[in-house]
């Protein structure tokens, strides 16, 4: 009798029914809440003109102050919570599902049955991995889209597609991070063969991996920073520099040599006198910055999954 091609998917999802249903519902809840909060923020009517006027401190359009109070009240009370939900649900769900894929099976001893039945453990691994990979990706993407929408609502005038704000916590990068974290859970679970210790170890590795990766990417972005001629709301600023008469840029550490500070304290309001420029990355680069981060995460995921395949091929079934 020929097996239906979708049966392995069904079996795997049933093995992870609790996690997929629980995190699926949390994802839906997060999306609904994000869109609700975003709609509430939009309804306040605190637009770009109000933001600019309030920032400049001059006379603001009628009602801007009241709107600002209401807007930032919603941002601090509701958007913060929803934003945390959108960030952590993909991370936690990816870890819990990832650890269970191989680790829990080894712990329960079901690999003894499965690995004795299949001439190819890789086939078994593919049957187990593919459906949960899709589940985690969908959860991550849903939350990523919701986080984009929330960002657009909390930062009037900012276009999430051209902004480097909250990089990694929204859009497709969030899904890529979730998949990477899941792959860490999968490989640690496969090595340790016990779900709970693997969860602890995988959490530490994932946190270090994500934080370390962000640091590295930050360093790369810093090295790529250029003078931003016209500041946009989605730009990422790294430094403020001064332009010497010859065109050379110097920082605060050198400015006193080229532009001596005034003798009296009162005169410091007009110092430094040299023209200032901002060093940063334009928000319009978000597309390629995002792609690079996804690429790095995909590479990490691939390495983790290849390691998993190696471990599954060689280890005892528990």
Partner 1 sequence: MDQAIEAIGLGKRYRRRRWALRDVDVAVPRGSITALVGPNGAGKSTLIKAGVGFERPTAGRLLVDGVDPWRDRGAAIAKVGYVPQSPSLYRELTVNDHVRLAATLRPGFDAHHARRRLEELSLPLDSRADELSGGQQAQVGLALALGTRAPVLLLDEPLASLDPLARREFLHVLVEAVREDGATALLSSHVITDIEQACDRLLVLGGGRKLLDLSIAESIAAHRIVAARAAGDDVVGSFMDVDGATVSLVRAPTTSLVRGRAATLEEVVLGHLAAGRAPRLLELAA
In the complex, the smallest distance separating the C-beta of residue 95 from partner 1, rounded to whole angstroms, is 20
Interaction of residue 3 with partner 1, rule CB under 8 A: yes
Min dist. Cβ of residue 111 to partner 1 (A): 8
> Could you please report the per-residue DSSP string of 110-141?
HHHHHHHH-S-HHHHHHHHHHHHHHHHHHHHH
Please, is 55 exposed, middle or buried when counting C-beta atoms within 10 Å of its C-beta (0-12, 13-18, 19+)?
exposed
Phi, psi of 102 (to 5 degrees): -110, -45
Q: Give the x/- contact pattern for partner 1 in 28-57, rule: CB under 8 A.
A: ------------------------------
User: Which of 53, 72, 112, 307 touches partner 1 by CB under 8 A?
Assistant: 112
Which of 52, 88, 127, 250 is close enough to bind partner 1 by CB under 8 A? 127
Tokens of 271: 């110092």
**Judged by CB under 8 A, does residue 14 bind partner 1?**
yes
- Residue 109 interacts with partner 1 (CB under 8 A)? yes
CA distance 54 to 76: 18
By CB under 8 A, tell whether 270 contacts partner 1: no
Q: How far apart are the first and last CA of the chain?
A: 31
Q: What is the DSSP letter of 237?
A: E
Distances in Å between the Cα of 201 and the Cα atoms of 138, 161, 253, 274 are 25, 35, 43, 52
Decide: is 15 part of the binding site for partner 1 (CB under 8 A): yes
**Shortest reach from residue 225's CB to partner 1, in Å:** 52
Task: Kindly state whether residue 248 participates in binding partner 1, applying the rule CB under 8 A.
Answer: no
* 281 touching partner 1, by CB under 8 A: no
Q: Which residue has the tokens 């007009």?
A: 270
Could you say which DSSP state residue 228 is in? E
Q: Which stretches of the chain bind partner 1, using CB under 8 A?
A: 1-4, 7-8, 11, 14-15, 17, 108-120, 123-124, 127, 316-317
């Amino acid at each position: 009798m020929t097996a239906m091609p979708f049966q392995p998917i069904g079996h795997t999802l049933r093995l992870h029914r609790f996690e997929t249903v629980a995190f699926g519902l949390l994802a839906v809840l997060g999306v609904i809440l994000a869109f609700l909060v975003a709609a509430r923020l939009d309804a306040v009517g605190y637009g770009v003109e109000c933001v600019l006027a309030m920032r400049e401190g001059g006379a603001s359009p009628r009602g801007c102050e009241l709107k600002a109070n209401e807007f930032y009240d919603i941002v601090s009370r509701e958007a913060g919570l929803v934003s945390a939900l959108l960030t952590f649900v993909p991370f936690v769900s990816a870890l819990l599902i990832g650890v269970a894929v191989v680790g829990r099976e080894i712990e329960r001893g079901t690999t003894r049955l499965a690995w004795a039945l299949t001439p190819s453990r890789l086939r078994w691994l593919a049957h187990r991995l593919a459906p949960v990979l899709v589940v985690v990706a969908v959860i991550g993407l849903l939350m990523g889209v919701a986080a984009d929408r929330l960002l657009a609502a909390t930062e009037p005038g900012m276009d999430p597609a051209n902004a480097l704000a909250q990089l990694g916590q929204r859009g497709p990068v969030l899904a890529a991070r979730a998949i990477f974290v899941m792959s860490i859970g999968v490989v640690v679970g496969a090595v340790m063969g016990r779900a709970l210790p693997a969860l602890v170890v995988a959490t530490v590795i994932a946190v270090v991996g994500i934080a370390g990766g962000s640091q590295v990417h930050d360093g790369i972005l810093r090295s790529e920073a250029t003078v931003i001629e016209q500041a946009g709301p989605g730009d990422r600023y790294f430094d403020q520099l001064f332009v010497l008469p010859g065109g050379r840029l110097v920082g605060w550490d050198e400015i006193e040599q080229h532009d001596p500070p005034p003798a009296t304290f009162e005169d410091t309001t007009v110092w430094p006198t040299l023209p200032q420029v901002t060093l940063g990355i334009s928000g319009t680069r978000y597309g390629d910055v995002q792609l690079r981060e996804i690429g790095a995460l995909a590479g990490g995921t691939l390495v983790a999954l290849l390691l998993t395949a190696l471990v599954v091929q060689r280890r005892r079934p528990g």
